[in-house]
Amino acid sequence: MDFVPGVKPPADRQKAWWFLFHEEKVLVTSQRGGVGIPLVKDPAELGVSPVRPLYIGALDGVPCYASDLAGADLTGVEGVFHGLRGLLGHLGESWFRVAGLAWQIVYWDRIHQYCGLCGAGTVPSSVERARHCNQCGQVYYPRIAPAVIVAVVRGDEILLGHAHRFPRGELYSVLAGFVEPGESLEECVRREVREEAGIELRNIRYFSSQPWPFPHSLMVGFTAEYAGGDVRVETSELRDVGWFGVHALPDIPDRRSISRELIDWFVRQCRD
C-alpha cells in the first residue's frame, strides 16, 4: 500500500480513513473477522465528533485524517478503542505505520496548543506540518526522539534483558535507550549497554530503523559484538539481563518490531 503524506486536504468531501484517538488508544471497527480503521465520510457515522481534525495524507489515494477525541462524548460510539502496541500483529504493516504516524501527529498537536516561549495560543500552518505563535513568531514542528536498540552477540549467544515496563512477565528483549544531547548513535549504543549490562562492545554496525510511535520515537537498530566485562544488571531499569543461546531463547517480542527483527537476525546468523 502506498501512503503519501500531506497537509492540504482534498477540496471535496469524500470517504476517508479516520484515525480517531481517545487518550492513547485508536478507534477500530470489526472488519472481515478482524479489526480495522474505519472508512467513513463523516465521523458522525461512528457516533463521535472529532476535535481538531488533521489531514495527514492519502493511502492508495484515499484521504486519511487523524483527530483527538479528548473531551468528546463517547456514548454510543461504534467500535472499540485499542492500544497501538496491541494492534502490532493485527493491522497490516502499512496500516500500523500510518496509525503510528497519525498518533504522533495527534500527540504533537495536543501538546503544542500553546507557545512554550510566551504562552500565547498557536495556530496550524496551511503549508507545512507546523504550529506557530502569532504573538512571538515561534514555530513548532513535530518532534522525533531518536533511540538506539542493539543486538549484542557473543558467539552463539545474544544479550537480552527483562525491563520493569514490559507488559508480559517473562518477556526479554535486546537493550535500547534514548540518545542524549551531544551524543552520536554509536556512542549511545556503547553507553546504554555499559550502563544497563556493564559490558563493552566492538564492531558496532547499523542494522535498520523503525518509526516507533510511543509516543514519538525513531528506533535505530544496531548489531555489536561482546568485547569484555562481566554482565551485571542495572536494577533501576531492568529486572534481569543475561546471555541466551539460540536454542534457549525466552519469551521475545512480537514480529514486526525492530527488536524481534534483531533477534531473528541473530537466529539466522547462528543457523548459517
Amino acid at 187: E
Residue after which a domain boundary falls, among 111, 127, 156: 111
Same domain, 267 and 149: yes
Q: Which residues, including other chains, have CB under 8 Å from residue 66's CB and lie 6 or more apart?
A: 18, 19, 20, 21, 53, 54, 56, 101, 102, 103, 105, 106
- Give yes or no: residues 32 and 126 share one domain: no
pLDDT at position 23, please?
A: 87
Instruction: Please indicate, yes or no, whether residues 173 and 85 belong to a single structural domain of this protein.
Output: no
Quote the pLDDT of residue 176: 97
Report the distance separating Cα 66 and Cα 211, nearest Å.
17
| pLDDT of amino acid 116 | 95
Same domain as 181, residue 126: no
Terminal-to-terminal C-alpha distance of the chain: 33
pLDDT of residue 255: 83
Please tell me the distance from the alpha carbon of residue 174 to that of residue 160, in angstroms, as a whole number: 5
Q: Per-residue confidence of the chain (272 residues) as pLDDT tens digits?
A: 799 999 999 998 899 999 999 988 999 998 877 889 999 999 999 999 888 999 999 999 999 999 999 888 888 899 999 999 888 877 888 899 999 999 999 999 999 999 999 999 999 998 999 999 999 999 999 999 999 999 999 999 999 999 988 876 789 999 999 999 999 999 999 999 999 999 999 999 999 999 999 899 999 999 999 999 999 998 888 999 999 999 999 999 988 899 999 999 999 999 87
Domain match, 40 and 126 both: no
Among 213, 228, 249, smallest CA distance to 88 is for: 213
Q: What is the CATH number of the domain that holds 93?
A: 3.90.79
Say if residue 181 is preceded by a cis peptide, omega within 30 of 0. Answer: no
Cell of 130: 507546523
Domain count, the chain: 3
Residues 90 and 40 reside in one and the same domain: yes
| Residue 92 sits in the same domain as residue 175 | no
- Per-residue confidence (pLDDT) for residue 272, from 0 to 100: 78
Q: Which pLDDT belongs to residue 109?
A: 96
Let me know whether 180 and 199 are in one domain.
yes
Angle at 101 between CA 85 and CA 10, to 5 degrees: 140
Residues 52 and 105 occupy one common structural domain: yes
Q: Are residues 183 and 138 in the same domain?
A: no
Residue 134 structural domain: 114-142
pLDDT at 263: 98
Is 67 found in the same domain as 172?
Answer: no
Establish how many alpha carbons lie within 13 A of residue 68's alpha carbon, considering only the half-sphere containing its beta carbon. Answer: 14
- 137/190 same-domain check: no
Residue that terminates a domain, selected from 89, 111, 133: 111
CA 58 to chain centre: 20
Taking the CA atoms of residue 110, residue 113, residue 116 and residue 118 in that order, the dihedral angle to the nearest 10 degrees is -170
